Amino acid sequence: MGSPTITEGIHSDNYRFLQEYVYSQAGIVLEHDKHYLFESRLAPIVRQLGLGSINDLCALLQATRGVEVGRQVAEAMTTNETYFFRDPSHYDAIRGVLLPRLREERRDTKKLWLWSAAASTGQEAYSLAMLLLENGFGDWNIQILGTDFSSQVLERARSGKYHQIEVNRGLPATLLVKHFRRSGVEWQLSEVVRRMVRFETIDLRKSMRPLGPFDLVFCRNVMIYFDAETKKNILNEIHGTLFRGGWLLLGGAESALGVDEKFERQTVGNAIVYVAR
Ligand SMILES: C[S@@+](CC[C@H](N)C(=O)[O-])C[C@H]1O[C@@H](n2cnc3c(N)ncnc32)[C@H](O)[C@@H]1O
């Protein structure tokens, strides 16, 4: 290969190949300065496959178009940072405004459908489940769907097992005591909470309309990785999964700009919520 190398040995043509590959597989845009990210995330795969470098990994991907390895590479490039009750103002808004309204509107069916899109290791979906239990919805028919592109993180989510450091982040001690029990060095979430949530591998770029209709969709801290067009398509799809008046909650650095005709932006306490028109 004649092309010059850029930092830490990734050839510049392979860097471009990886950028395009991850974009085509997951929609994730990785700029020109993410060498360290490719290096640190792909090194374990290189080692596991007994290869010498990321350039070898690129050659393998180009030669075989190996579905399994390709999937591993795309999943490795996702960022899965999450924690319990992340952005508490969202949970305050749900507790204070959405739940009282739904309790009234759905008193006959006692049924709620909620979706944690980009659920990662499950803390968001389980936070919702605990919030509902704490607010007297224990005898309701609650279905919470947690979805993510990465099947690896969903495997962890399904297990409902968390390390000490994870339960230390955002989870009130009262809820830890109530809903978890120690299991070796980890904490195991109770069956009651786990049964309220179902996890499924779903790429947000695919059509999502068959999933709904939901009362609430969390799609937080994932849009930041997409380009404007992908983002707009996803917001349109999410709109199609929501009941009229249903809520969409986005991450702090995200907005539903560009689809104003579909969502009304409202401020509830310290939270911004997008209400489906
Ligand atoms: C930073 S985490 C956000 C987790 C959680 N929503 C939160 O705010 O705490 C972003 C998640 O989006 C997922 N993701 C990335 N691209 C995706 C795609 N195309 N479809 C579905 N999920 C995707 C990643 O796998 C990752 O778990």
- What is the CA(172)–ligand 1 centre distance, in A? 24
Q: Are residues 145 and 171 in the same domain?
A: yes
Q: Are residues 67 and 126 in the same domain?
A: no
Q: What is the mean predicted confidence (pLDDT) over 57-68?
A: 85
pLDDT bucket at 66, cuts 50 / 70 / 90: low
pLDDT bucket at 5, cuts 50 / 70 / 90: very low
Within a domain: 115: yes
Within a domain: 81: no
- What is the CA(104)–ligand 1 centre distance, in A? 32
Domain of residue 29, CATH code:
1.10.155.10
Q: How far is CA 56 from CA 46, 76, 85, in A?
A: 8, 17, 41
* Residue 97 confidence (pLDDT) above 50: yes
**pLDDT tens-digit readout, 120-140:** 999 999 999 999 999 999 999
> Which of 25, 53, 76 lies at the terminal end of a domain, its last residue?
76
* Residue 54 confidence (pLDDT) above 60: yes
pLDDT at 2: 40
Within a domain: 179: yes
What is the percentage of the chain residues whose pLDDT exceeds 90?
Answer: 90
Dihedrals phi, psi of 64, to nearest 5 degrees: -105, -20
Q: Are residues 189 and 249 in the same domain?
A: yes
* Mean of all residue pLDDT scores within the chain: 94
Q: Tokens for 76?
A: 């490795």
Higher pLDDT, 61 or 2: 61
pLDDT bucket at 260, cuts 50 / 70 / 90: confident
Q: Tokens for 112?
A: 């709620």
pLDDT at 1: 41
* Residue 251 confidence (pLDDT) above 80: yes
pLDDT at 130: 98
- What is the CA(146)–ligand 1 centre distance, in A? 11
| CA–centroid distance for 8 within its chain | 30
Q: Which residues constitute the domain of residue 190?
A: 88-276
Higher pLDDT, 182 or 2: 182
Residues at CB less than 6 angstroms from ligand 1: 26-28, 78-82, 86, 118, 120, 124, 148-150, 153, 203-205, 220-222, 225, 251
Dihedrals phi, psi of 250, to nearest 5 degrees: -110, 170
Domain of residue 157, CATH code:
3.40.50.150
Closest CA to ligand 1's atom 13: 118
* Residue 65 confidence (pLDDT) above 90: no
Q: Are residues 214 and 235 in the same domain?
A: yes
Question: Hey, is 54 helix, strand or coil?
Answer: helix
